[in-house]
Amino acid sequence: MTDQQFRIGLYDTANVVPPISTLPVGVHRFRITTVGNSVLSTVYVRSGAGTASVRWFDLGAGLELADTQTTLLTHPTMTAGQTDRRVVTKIHASCFVEVTVAGAPVDMGVLATVVADFPLSGNILDAQLAHLAADGGLPVSVYNPGDGKFYLLRGGPDGLAVSERVGRVLEAGTTLASTGPSTTILSMAPATGVTWRVRYGEVVCRGVGRWNLVVDGVRVGGGATGPERAHDRTDMPGYVLALASVQVGYTYSHGPAGIDIDAFVGVTEL
């Protein structure tokens, strides 16, 4: 269909598709010049065997080329007896309404009112079907210090989605036959699809020596033991994310042969 042109002043309302119009199968485009940068758009499909989808877009570079189109809002595809109302924001001086009718003709209407600002479309109803590319709800994001990213808070019909976290203590021990080079006391890896948050590491040994806590190949803690300090511990300032491996190594420098040593690492398993 050839472009139809409308000019809508601030707080004015126009029937972009007059109610109720019968639109045949195809793409119908309407050019709108607005005195304001936001539009309240309502689509109503009264009858017909086909479907109708409505897209608002403008031309970001001011050139009427397909690759300059910026989609501002897309109403969900509707059938007979359905209506939808949404706010279109961030409009330049003019924009377009594109109505695509598929399957069979439909009787429908599109109503537009120019408003003055970028209002937040926060009228989200309980159990409303989400259209993430178009809805203007209020997302809540949380920061994950483990990977430095923000994540949207998720939920379901019963409330917030909470990941189950299981606290574990990784444990290993051995007998040191003699003093000498570093010995790996504990070496473990999370299962496939599992992540560990390392909270602390500790070693129990009456011999004189030094120990290291290594996570994914990086030393993140350690200390020293001796007769007067048989138990030594390192606590993380929060946690350290372990994706591949956790190791505790010990270098025994002085003491009797055949001394026992135990290593413990506290993790939260996700």
CA distances from 185 to 23, 172, 219, 222, 248 (A): 76, 6, 15, 13, 6
Predicted TM-score of the model (pTM): 0.50
Query: 188 and 259: one domain?
Result: yes
Please, are residues 263 and 201 in contact by the beta-carbon 8 Å criterion?
A: yes
CATH of the domain at 195: 2.60.120.230
Residue 120: what pLDDT?
57
Query: 15 and 89: one domain?
Result: yes
Phi and psi dihedrals of 56, rounded to 5?
Answer: -100, 135
Residue 93: what pLDDT?
75
Which of 76, 99, 115 is the last residue in one of the domains?
A: 115
Q: Is residue 133 part of a domain?
A: no
Query: 11 and 109: one domain?
Result: yes
CATH of the domain at 8: 2.60.120.380
Q: Is residue 99 part of a domain?
A: yes
Domain range holding 97? 4-115
User: Above 50 in pLDDT, residue 233?
Assistant: yes
Tokens of 153: 């808070």
User: Above 90 in pLDDT, residue 261?
Assistant: yes
| Alpha carbon of residue 146 to chain centroid | 15
CA distance 178 to 210: 14
Q: Is residue 61 part of a domain?
A: yes
Confidence of residue 217 (pLDDT cuts 50, 70, 90): very high
Question: pLDDT tens digit string along 170-212?
Answer: 999 999 989 988 999 999 999 998 899 999 999 999 999 999 9
Q: Is residue 260 part of a domain?
A: yes
CA distance 256 to 245: 31
Which of helix, strand or coil describes residue 68?
helix
Q: Is residue 111 part of a domain?
A: yes
Query: 109 and 184: one domain?
Result: no
Question: pLDDT tens digit string along 52-85?
Answer: 999 999 987 766 777 788 899 999 999 999 999 9
Query: 108 and 177: one domain?
Result: no
Query: 263 and 170: one domain?
Result: yes
Tokens 């190594």, residue?
249
CA distances from 70 to 62, 172, 222 (A): 11, 59, 55
Phi and psi dihedrals of 66, rounded to 5?
Answer: -60, -40
Q: Is residue 21 part of a domain?
A: yes
Query: 183 and 99: one domain?
Result: no
Total domains in the fold of the chain? 2
Give the sign of the dihedral formed by CA 135, CA 137, CA 143, CA 144.
negative
Confidence of residue 158 (pLDDT cuts 50, 70, 90): confident
CA distances from 103 to 53, 79, 84, 182, 222 (A): 12, 11, 20, 74, 69
Query: 11 and 75: one domain?
Result: yes
Q: Is residue 148 part of a domain?
A: no
Query: 90 and 178: one domain?
Result: no
Which of 79, 96, 115 is the last residue in one of the domains?
A: 115
Which of 96, 115, 134 is the last residue in one of the domains?
A: 115
Q: Is residue 124 part of a domain?
A: no
